[in-house]
Structure 1
Amino acid sequence: MIQTERLNIYPLSDEEMRDVIQNESNEALKAAYSEMLAGCLENPEQRIWHALWVLQLNDGSGKIIGSLSFKGLNDNGMVEIGYGINPEYEGKGLMTEAVSAAVRWASKQPGVLSIEAETEPDNIASQRVLEKAGFIPSGVIGAEGPRYIWKNG
């Protein structure tokens, strides 16, 4: 578990991920979560890089307000982070807090040499989260839009 000032961030178990998939109404998210679970099951030794991590308020409410994930650790030591937050919690700095903590944690894990992210070109809020968390534009346009790379320091 990763703890921040306001959040507990932790990966779901396979069973918890199955529950999320079963209860997800958005077909695109359901497909993404199913792909993540498949990654967990196919790569148990690297499960942490495929799991869905939840963002839980640590104010005693236990409320889950969003999630993040790493999209596998590739052969070049690169992990990609993706994230989302419930709309009522946007604009409060919680996602920046979560992403910052998650990338600091990931950067200290064996085999991780770089951390990247991709965001849609018109998603200014997500771009700001990345910039505040220490990412800089890489100059590459990926499938979802501009790619960013995290610079430690």
Structure 2
Amino acid sequence: MKYIANDNSLERELKLNPTVKIISPELREALTETILPNVAYSGKNHLFSTLWGVILKAESRMVGDVCFVGEPAADGEIEIGYGTYENYRGKGYMTEAVACMIDWAKRQDNVRSIFAQTAKDNPASWRILEKNGFVKVDEDGNLLSWRLTFEK
């Protein structure tokens, strides 16, 4: 996958300006273990397993990524993951992108809630979730768990 290659080949194909990004070990694992296999399986709704690039139109540049980690569970819960590239943090881009993902998820009949986890030492990530209506539901070691439940 061109994204994992991290050589700007994806940006060239999409006619975007190159972006400096670091693919975390957690994202690399999610891509290889969950996201790509789910997209490859034709029986699944690939929209729940697509890594969406967040594009800053003014610069024609990717500034982050956001995804759901697979289809909804039996109880209607999906998990969201996201990351903003270092040079674009603190500007509200991911807050807006997560809001768009929530808006889409609300319109899916089989989605009842969205789950997320953040590191305890990452208050910028908490703020993204809090601004989008998530509530902290658990704390385990260095991880905070968050949930947004829809009224349906």
TM normalised by structure 1 equals 0.77
Shift of 1:75: 1.8
Shift of 1:31: 2.4
Letter in 1 for 2:3: V
Larger radius of gyration: 2
Task: Specify the SS of the correspondent of 1:119.
Answer: strand
1:50 alignment partner in structure 2: 49
Letter in 2 for 1:51: T
CA contact (8 A) 1:118 1:142 kept: no
Task: Specify the SS of the correspondent of 1:84.
Answer: strand
Whether 1:23 and 2:22 are equivalent positions in the alignment is no
For 1:19-45, what per-residue CA distance to the aligned partner results, in whole angstroms no more than 9, with x for missing partners?
112337746132222221112113543
- Identical amino acids, percent of aligned pairs: 34
Corresponding pairs, count: 134
CA contact (8 A) 2:118 2:144 kept: yes
Following the alignment from structure 1 to structure 2, what is the Cα–Cα distance between the partners of residues 83 and 27? 11
Following the alignment from structure 1 to structure 2, what is the Cα–Cα distance between the partners of residues 27 and 87? 12
CA contact (8 A) 1:51 1:70 kept: yes
Following the alignment from structure 2 to structure 1, what is the Cα–Cα distance between the partners of residues 77 and 142? 17
Moved runs in structure 1, 4+ residues, more than 4 A? Answer: 24-27
Following the alignment from structure 1 to structure 2, what is the Cα–Cα distance between the partners of residues 119 and 27? 14
Letter in 1 for 2:86: P
Relative distance call for 1:143 and 1:51 in structure 2 (3 A) is farther
For 1:119-153, what per-residue CA distance to the aligned partner results, in whole angstroms no more than 9, with x for missing partners?
11111110011000111112x24687111111458
